[in-house]
Structure 1
Amino acid sequence: MPRIVRMRGLLATSIGVTCAAALALPLTSPATAAAVRPAPTAEAGTEAARAAALPGSTQSLPLTPLTRDRALGSADRGTRRTDVHRFSLLGVVWDDPDAALHGRVQVRTRPAGGDAWSGWQDVETHNADHGADPGTAERTSGHVRGATAPLWVGDSDGVEVRVHPDASLPAGLRLELVDPGAAAPVHVPVAPRSRALPATATAALSKAERSASAANAPLARLGATKIPALNREQTQRELGTKKAGKHRAAPYIGPRPSIVTRRGWGADESMREAGFRYTTTVKAAFVHHTATGNNYTCAQAPSVIRGIYRYHVRSMGWRDIGYNFLIDKCGTIYEGRAGGVAKAVMGAHTLGFNTNSMGVAVLGTFTSAKPNSATVKAIARLTAWKLGLFGANPKGKTYLKSGGGNLYAKGKNVRLNVISGHRDGFATECPGKQLYGKLGTARSTAATYQGR
């Protein structure tokens, strides 16, 4: 029988699958889940209406034994479901964030409204290297779970997963099916700085939306979906770094790139934890790939980000999306974790090195696929500007103190490239061999943008 469980305020459906007959059990619909909530106050009712405008859901399905390997003392696990709600992104999670899944996870999906199944795809199982540092409030919240990397599969309504272990599997294995929602963000017109936006343009913002947007002042107006690009002179003028007369400051900072805000990609601000957390400065940028696959279009990128956001928060138990910025295959830059794109926001991206750094994730998998020039250029443009705000040289070296990981002990001062790959701080494949090989180009291009 279906049973309803509450996970951090989210009503999720957990369906026991013990035999073939169980596959016919229906999932609880989102409407049914919403119906059991307490009667809202006027303010809560407004928040509920806003949440309804940003649809999205997570289905959690336990993985049950399929076969048993007596030598390992562990069973293959999996499930096959053809009665699920539509989803576009998936991953496997388990209870203990410190436990590793040693084995192979494969999935195949059925496109929504279709009959043909996809081929089997591997899901990246080594994902613990992305996350909050050991001992931090986010890591020790009691909500964090172990997880594979999320995989983007496109609009689907059927799924089959199989997990073959190389050792005993962690407890509580379940498949997470994420619907990122399809609502388009509200457009807020760009007005001259001397004019205020109409009250109607910002009146519909919730408290959380207003807070996330206000963190980007004065770069963009409240409720803006995009932070506009500036040339280098405009960027320097905005920072007040140019002085009158012959002698003027010569800051090394690249022109500010255009950045799609959280409102621009449709973030449901009610889902993350309230408030923001900051580190002291930004001395380095760690480049990642999301390992979500490359089968997305640029028009789908906001949906991919909403899916990752929901997976990080609802499935993995983080306070917000882990990365500070994301970049798609067309070179579009997106704001990640809330708190202000020009500020030193504490992320959860490079285990052991989240303090005084930022995480930049490229949407896709670059183990064998090569990133295109638009992606590499976007990395350079973003880092030239953001690192320049904090006086960092993209071609230089810096020291970061390790918070603990599998390469460097906690407390060790580590010399790193100012633009590093994730694997420089943790033994991992991320950001993939092909993207990692382009970081030298990104460093030199970013330095050129800074005028070095």
Structure 2
Amino acid sequence: MRLYRMRLYRIALWVTVPMALPLLAAPAGLTAVRAARDTAPEGAPSVWRPGVTAQPVDAGRPFPALGAASMALRRMVPRPAIVSRAQWRADETKRDSHAHYAGGVRAVFIHHTDTPNGYDCADVPRTLRNLYTGQTRDRSWGDLGYNFLVDKCGTVYEGRAGGADRAVVGSHTLGFNQGTTGIAAIGTFGPGTPVPAAMEHAIAALAAWKLGLSGVDPTGKVRLTSTNGKSRYARGTSAEFDAISGHRDGFATNCPGEALIARLPAIRGLAAEIQGRYARAVPFPRLAATPGNTHRG
């Protein structure tokens, strides 16, 4: 009987005392911050080896423990339809042959292209090729500055090369290109200009997808570190931004225009709904469904 009781006691200990689990080590190189020049208007971007991933400029903190509040979980959102560079016939000989990468996308900056609003959506590929020529030849940005562009019909276009699903470093917001995505609304959105519902919906869906890959709440706040003193913040300064911000929040400019700035709360709210975050900080109107579109070059 005594032997039987001893065996029961040992079994109880084995069941109630958890086994020691090995600590998960951070992936190799995760805490190493790679020097990354801001690919912005002050000069041509530095050439990196293709396929090398650089961490965001403020990613030198220790790897967070599992379950820590700082460790965001992905929000898996369907990728919206994106017209590729090949489809809008980008001349790949014009650009820098090496894509530049950050460790992830933590924020989105909204822009406008400052081009006429009276375009036919079927002619947008031609507009993109003109923008592409201007930003590579005249501004020496190495490629289109924006990661994505959206037309008034709600069609999303791939901008800068390197992979739509990757954290490609653009040349859209001086000082804050690292770890962000630039989305440009095709047109000019000064005071009183209507922002098409289809465009808003497409921008929100795109932002929800990109931010969801890093688990970022579109209605939340993020901290970014300026990499260039010509931005609104001195180089090395950490500043708080909305996860979906306007270009002028990081740089002294009117972009993306007063009308589009006024619609950002609605875009943030819709992006959060698309991610499944139903407790919204701000109300927003339900937008019309995005219509289909045809393309020609």
TM-score higher than 0.5 here?
A: yes
Spell out, residue by residue over 1:334-366, the C-alpha distance to the aligned partner (whole angstroms, 9 max, x if none).
001000001000000001110110100000000
Partner of residue 115 from structure 2, selected from 284, 292, 307:
292
Q: Aligned with 1:341: secondary structure?
A: coil
Q: State how 1:17-416 maps to structure 2 within 5 Å.
A: 136=38, 141=43, 251-368=74-191, 369-403=193-227, 404-416=229-241
Structure 1 residue 427: Cα displacement? 2.0
Counterparts in 2 of 1:140 and 1:444: CA distance versus 1, 3 Å: closer
The structural deviation recorded for 1:295 is 2.4
Cα distance in 2 for residues equivalent to 1:137 and 1:384: 24
- State whether residues 287 and 421 of structure 1, in contact with CA within 8 Å, keep that contact through their aligned partners in structure 2: yes
Question: In structure 2, which of residues 273, 288, 294 is the aligned counterpart of residue 448 of structure 1?
Answer: 273
- CA distance in 2: counterparts of 1:425 and 1:140, whole angstroms: 15
Specify every segment of 5 or more residues in structure 2 that has no aligned partner in the other structure, as ranges. Answer: 1-35, 51-72, 278-297
| Contact 2:194–2:259 (Cα < 8 Å) also in 1 | yes
Q: Measured at CA, do residues 306 and 142 of structure 1 come closer, stay the same or move farther in structure 2, by a change above 3 Å?
A: closer
Tell me how far 1:296 sits from its aligned partner: 1.1
Question: 2:249 matched to 1:424?
Answer: yes
CA distance in 1, matches of 2:248, 2:43: 26
What secondary structure, in the 3-state scheme, does the structure 1 residue paired with 2:134 have? Answer: helix
Which residue of structure 1 lines up, in the alignment, with residue 289 of structure 2? none
Kindly state the Cα deviation for residue 253 of structure 1 after the two structures are TM-superposed. Answer: 3.0
* Cα pair distance change 1:274/1:381, threshold 3 Å: same
Q: Secondary structure at the match of 1:437?
A: helix
Shift of 1:381: 0.5
* Structure 2 letter corresponding to 1:307: N
* The structure with more strand, counted as a fraction of residues: 1
Q: Which position in structure 2 is the counterpart of 1:208? A: none
Q: Comparing both chains, which one has the higher relative contact order based on Cα–Cα distances under 8 Å and sequence gaps of 6 or more?
A: 2
1:253–1:387 contact (8 Å) kept in structure 2: no
Q: CA deviation at 1:263?
A: 0.5
Q: In the superposition, relative to structure 1, how do residues 137 and 415 fare at CA in structure 2: closer, same or farther (>3 Å)?
A: closer
Q: How many residues are paired up?
A: 215
Q: Distance in 1 between matches of 2:74 and 2:214?
A: 10
**CA gap 1:446/1:140 in 2 versus in 1, 3 angstroms:** closer
Change (3 A) 1:356 1:136: closer
> SS of the counterpart of 1:349?
coil
Listed one character per residue, the Cα deviations across residues 160-181 of structure 1 (whole Å, up to 9, x for unaligned) are xxxxxxxxxxxxxxxxxxxxxx
CA displacement 1:45-91 (0-9 Å, x = unmatched): xxxxxxxxxxxxxxxxxxxxxxxxxxxxxxxxxxxxxxxxxxxxxxx
Residues 349/383 of structure 1: CA separation in 2 closer, same or farther (3 Å cut): same
Residues 425 and 140 of structure 1: is their aligned pair in 2 closer, same or farther, counting only changes over 3 Å? closer
**d(CA) in 1 for partners of 2:214, 2:37:** 26
Residue deviations 1:185-243, cap 9 Å, x none? Answer: xxxxxxxxxxxxxxxxxxxxxxxxxxx9xxxxxxxxxxxxxxxxxxxxxxxxxxxxxxx
Query: More deviation in 282-291 or 399-408?
Result: 399-408
Q: Provide the C-alpha distance between the structure 1 equivalents of 2:133 and 2:121, rounded to a whole number of angstroms.
A: 19
Note if contact 1:253-1:384 (Cα within 8 Å) is conserved in structure 2. Answer: no
Once the two structures are TM-superposed, the CA of residue 405 in structure 1 deviates from its matched residue by 2.8
**How many angstroms does 1:390 deviate by?**
1.4
1:254 CA displacement:
2.4
Secondary structure at the aligned position of 1:436 is classed as helix
Q: Distance in 1 between matches of 2:226 and 2:40?
A: 17
Q: Would the aligned equivalents of 2:76 and 2:209 in 1 still touch at CA under 8 Å?
A: yes
Instruction: Give how far 1:386 is off.
Output: 1.0
What is the CA distance between 1:135 and its match in structure 2? 5.6
Cross-structure match for 2:8: none
Q: For the Cα contact (< 8 Å) 1:266–1:306, is it kept in 2?
A: yes
Per-residue deviation at 1:330? 0.3
**Structure 2: distance between partners of 1:141 and 1:337:** 17
CA distance change for structure 1 residues 142 and 371 in 2, over 3 Å: closer, same or farther? closer
Provide closer, same or farther for how the CA distance between residues 309 and 399 of structure 1 changes in structure 2, counting only shifts above 3 A. Answer: same
**Any idea what SS the aligned residue of 1:382 has?**
helix
SS in 1 for 2:216: coil
Aligned-partner residue type, residue 333 of structure 1: V
